[in-house]
Amino acid sequence: MPQIIIRGIQPEEVCKVSQKLIDRLTQTVGCPRDYFEIECISSVKVTNGIIEQPYPFVEVAWFDRGQQIQDEVARTITDVLMKGLGIESLDLAFKVFEKEKYYENGEHF
């Protein structure tokens, strides 16, 4: 169920490293690969009336798995994207869902 939401990196580029990324994350998180979802969000950065390439930003939305796992997931995503795509810098943040506030088909976890 970890949702990896990426802005500022073209979907075609993400496709190049997506398999490797999920391979490594399944080992770290300990859940099946079909639990992971990668979503690429198109965004436009406008600065002083000029359209520019947005800064790479990754958001991981998931249920809390503890600080150690979170740190390893952050390192893994950063490593795979930066080394695999030649990205010099990116930011990453976690959004933690609370089970009693997350619903699937009308039922909370």
* Domain residue spans of the chain: 3-108
Name the pLDDT band for 3 (thresholds 50, 70, 90).
Answer: very high
What CATH superfamily classification does 3-108 receive?
Macrophage Migration Inhibitory Factor (3.30.429.10)
Report the relative pairing of strands 45-47 and 50-52 from DSSP bridges. antiparallel
Q: For 34-49, what is the mean pLDDT?
A: 95
The predicted-structure confidence for 74-95, as pLDDT tens digits, reads as follows 999 999 999 999 999 999 999 9
Spatial distance between the Cα atoms of 11 and 39, rounded to a whole number of angstroms = 9
